[in-house]
Amino acid sequence: MAGTFSAGGDATKAFSASEMEKLPAKIRQLVVEWDFSAKAFGR
């Protein structure tokens, strides 16, 4: 993990291509869950 934040770390090694493809779907899922929670709890 320290290599991810160091100046010499290579960000492409931190995530594989398949993991990068899954990120937008996961972000959409979280947004839907947050919106649902906000509406359910009146926030």
**Mean pLDDT in order along the chain per 10 residues (43 residues):** 59 74 94 94 81
Question: And the tokens for 6?
Answer: 């160091």
**What does pTM read for this prediction?**
0.56
The reported pLDDT for the residue numbered 19 is 87
The reported pLDDT for the residue numbered 23 is 93
DSSP the chain: -HHHHSTT--HHHHS-HHHHHHHHHHHHHHHHHHHHHHHHTT-
Measure Cα distances from 26 to 2, 13, 16, 41, 42 in Å: 24, 20, 15, 22, 24
